Chain A
């Protein structure tokens, strides 16, 4: 059955929609899953399983785009992690590649030379950073400085409280 049978009618009139973003290791372990359309847990697991398999089967020199069910998949590998976005027919593939890159840059700046382990041990931070950059699958702030400022502000809030507590 096609993927679109899973999605409610309400999403069908919007031609532009990033449907989900997955980060997974070369062994197929899911490190981050962000869903921008409503799906049951069962459907999410099925999609994840199949898509991870499909992407891992790709060879290194192949192009970064592939058609999967009714969606376009844009993916790129950074070290041991695959970053994978599912977009719709009318979406712009190249700009999505750069969305992935920008996200990696943000993680890199925040963690300082980010690696997979950072995302494993600070998974909640990865979600927070993603939410400052993309919301509902759309870019909300494309200035790297502004996104990082927002995240660091939040961290600062916590530190101020800690310092005040320990006084």
Chain B
């Protein structure tokens, strides 16, 4: 195929592109580009007015340069001028330029909107489509303000051409997504629903996407679409492949339309009307039946299109979760795909089955495939597929297969990709806790986790195992024995030392009777790891040592010797030094009674929801985890593994509901957290864990004070930070004048609304401080950065 421009090719452009391609180096390319930019600049500034063709050519060149990755800071005016040309290709290039290089200059915006308005009212369908495409591509607030009321009118007007309707529908969709408040429901909404019955399949295809989105936000307004969608789907599914002519794709009738219809139906619960429901069920059965028929074509496009419909139908069946027959059939179909030749299908089957696993009707059916899934975990070459298999094992886990699944996941973890290890660790920890009937198995599992993937075992995980061991008398001895053995390994992970140190410190007495794990042996074992550990671990070990002095008086002298040495009491780390000095003193002056009281065994922790679950949700986002988690919580009821003081699971479920931020619910939580200075109201997104006082993320007034004091010596830095908000400060001082800037950063993915700040000045200071009015900027990437400049004149 000749590498020249087709049609009305701009020769100069083709030459320029060739030149760029022939540049041997980046420098040469930049040089050539700069030369061209200079040329274009001079042409644009020139006295002679450029003709349309030349303008088009230069604007196109600028576009090309921009798309290569270089910045362009001129040409917008010329592009906007092209919009008013009555030559189609000139308009086209103008529109392309402004939709790619979006400019926020208000004058340009006004001109652009004007040009669009003219094209929209031109009654020329090709021009109207160009304008609509532009609005859909840019979708700015200004365009929404200008056109949001016009477009619905165009969409439902009787004399609008089909192609224009299609563009109008999707254009309106884009505007609705960016500025939902400007697209008001009205007379047009019922007419839009009836587009589902339109003769032109293209119009239906475009309208459906609009209706799907609108119905998510206004389900009642659009609920009549359900029966229309069902009839349409039914007609397509039962049509012969020749009926739909050009809308048949490789012998599959209207695959895109079918998928969209099935998707629309997922926005609503199952139809209440018996006839409609019956028709839909028939439809779904037909789709499932077709999957068993021999293919009409060997081409992958045929099977992809057919299976796309099948998977979407299965999604609908799962969404309804009310037809056991269909659910089981869906499960069987997916089971077949698990062993399909094509990797794509195996991947999708594993993914779909995950959702099926949480339905009570199909959970058992899913479990029957456990061996296949385990096999996939072991043998699939593609890491994405292996990961889906791991996800499915997690989803299908229950009491009957927990031991097997955890064992498989542990062995998978040994060779898993680093990028997925942390998530795997969290999942194994959750499963182990949830389904442990025998807590010694749980302890073994966590210790194995630390052994295999120690680096990825986050704090939440090992805090949890300690919590559980403290709370369960029956496993304390076993835990002590097991960590003792684990610590004997020549190279053991630091997390193991932490867990071991803590457990031996509390329960070392349970194994001290055996000469092989006598007190001194225990101490020496721990101390042998001491110098290999980081400061926090060492701090923990020092605490373990003082506990040993209490538990095993015979070790007092040895341990005191260690505490006394310079490397401890003169340690450069303040925490370690303090602990060494205080523990040494405590051991010397406290009587045995006092010591015993101070170092009494840790009381049981109050039962709360595991923070591991919260961490997993935070990691995966609301979508991936919550369904399974919530279902499991619902199903398992109030008891977790029989016995122990467990808080009611309904609380846990309510908590995990609250902790999965749904877009509408979260706003309220965020708003209440906005004011500075007040301790941020917990949005429930992370339940307070027992260790949260010790955790670095704990937001409290104390943080403010610490942070504040730093600024005695520092001018700039972060004044306050929590999960929602970061406040930075920057200050300058000269003689008697000082100036402070406060920057507020939004760390969430949602917008702050009604964000206000107040600064309070104590007493005298009030009269010395000038406040400059608040400047606020909402950047496109949705961070509110507000500056407040305070100029203070301090008297000397």
Contacts and interface: CB of A to CB of B under 8 A. Distances in A.
A38 B780 contact: yes
Contacts of B92: 124, 128, 154
B751 A158 contact: no
Given A16-B213, A124-B92, 10 more contacts: A5-B782, A10-B177, A30-B67, A97-B304, A121-B14, A135-B170, A135-B174, A140-B202, A157-B89, A157-B126
B782 A142 contact: no
Contact of A146 (B179, B202, B624): B202
B385 A138 contact: no
Chain B interface size, under 10 / 10 to 19 / 20 to 34 / 35 or more = 35 or more
Nearest to B206: A140
Interface string A102-120: 1000000011111101101
Closest 5 CB pairs of A and B: A94-B308, A135-B170, A117-B3, A95-B308, A63-B343
A67 B384 contact: yes
B721 to A, nearest CB: 15
B1 A114 contact: yes
Interface string A67-92: 10010000000000000000001101
B259 A92 contact: yes
B249 to A, nearest CB: 7
Given A9-B663, A141-B206, A161-B87, A111 B6 contact: yes
Nearest to A66: B384
Interface string B83-101: 0000111001100100000
B504 to A, nearest CB: 40
B69 A45 contact: yes
B180 interface: yes
A14 B177 contact: yes
Contacts of B247: 142-143
Interface stretch (B250-258, B280-288, B551-559): B250-258
Given A8-B178, A45-B69, A136 B173 contact: yes
Interface stretch (B133-141, B466-474, B516-524): B133-141
Given A16-B212, A16-B263, A122-B5, A63 B780 contact: no
Interface of B: 1, 3-9, 14, 17, 21, 60, 63-64, 67, 69, 71, 87-89, 92-93, 96, 126, 129, 132-133, 136-137, 139, 163, 166-167, 169-171, 173-174, 177-180, 201-202, 205-206, 209, 212-213, 216-217, 246-247, 249, 254-257, 259, 263, 301, 304-305, 307-308, 311-312, 315, 343-344, 346-348, 381-382, 384-385, 387, 621, 623-624, 663-664, 748-751, 780-782
A135 B136 contact: yes
A32 to B, nearest CB: 8
Interface string A55-73: 0000001111111001000
Contacts of A161: 87
B382 A62 contact: yes
B255 A98 contact: yes
A102 B249 CA distance: 9
B180 A141 contact: no
Contacts of B166: 135, 140-141
B259 A95 contact: yes
Interface in A9-31: 9-17, 30
B243 to A, nearest CB: 14
A39 B1 CA distance: 35
Interface residues of A, number: 79
A61 B136 contact: no
16 contacts: A9-B750, A12-B750, A40-B780, A93-B344, A93-B348, A94-B307, A95-B312, A101-B304, A122-B9, A124-B96, A128-B96, A135-B174, A136-B137, A139-B205, A140-B169, A154-B126
Contacts of A6: 781-782
B163 A150 contact: yes
Contacts of B782: 5-9
B308 A112 contact: no
Nearest to B246: A143
A14 B136 CA distance: 16
A2 interface: yes
Interface string A122-158: 1111011001000110111111111000100111011
B139 A38 contact: yes
Contacts of A65: 344, 347-348, 384
B210 to A, nearest CB: 9
A2 B347 CA distance: 24
A30 B66 CA distance: 12
Contact of B173 (A12, A64, A138): A138
A92 B255 CA distance: 12
A90 to B, nearest CB: 8
A14 B96 contact: no
Nearest to B210: A138
Given A94-B308, A94-B348, A153-B126, A142 B382 contact: no
A167 interface: no
A8 B746 CA distance: 12
Contact of A131 (B137, B343, B346, B382): B137
B344 A64 contact: yes
Contacts of B254: 142
Contacts of A41: 71
B246 A4 contact: no
B381 A61 contact: yes
Nearest to B621: A70
Greatest chain B CB density within 10 A among A63, A112, A153, A158 is at: A63
B173 to A, nearest CB: 6
Given A7-B749, A123-B64, A67 B387 contact: yes
A118 B4 CA distance: 7
Greatest chain B CB density within 10 A among A33, A92, A146 is at: A92
Given A92-B259, A154-B89, A113 B307 contact: no
A63 B1 contact: no
A9 B213 CA distance: 15
B663 A95 contact: no
Given A62-B343, A118-B1, A138 B180 contact: no
B198 to A, nearest CB: 13
A53 B125 CA distance: 42
B206 A123 contact: no
Nearest to B783: A5
A14 B170 CA distance: 14
Contacts of B259: 92, 95
B338 to A, nearest CB: 14
A43 to B, nearest CB: 7
A33 B209 CA distance: 23
Given A14-B216, A40-B780, A94-B304, A136 B171 contact: yes
A62 B14 contact: no
Contacts of B170: 135-136, 138, 140
A89 B622 CA distance: 11
B343 A61 contact: yes
A63 B346 CA distance: 9
A158 B89 contact: yes
A110 B60 CA distance: 20
Nearest to A4: B749
Contact of B384 (A2, A63, A136, A158): A63
A43 B206 contact: no
A157 B770 CA distance: 65
A26 B5 CA distance: 23
A92 B780 contact: no
Contact of B304 (A98, A144, A157): A98
B88 A98 contact: no
B181 to A, nearest CB: 10
Contacts of B781: 6, 39-40, 43
A162 B205 contact: no
Contacts of B169: 140
Contacts of B305: 94-95, 98
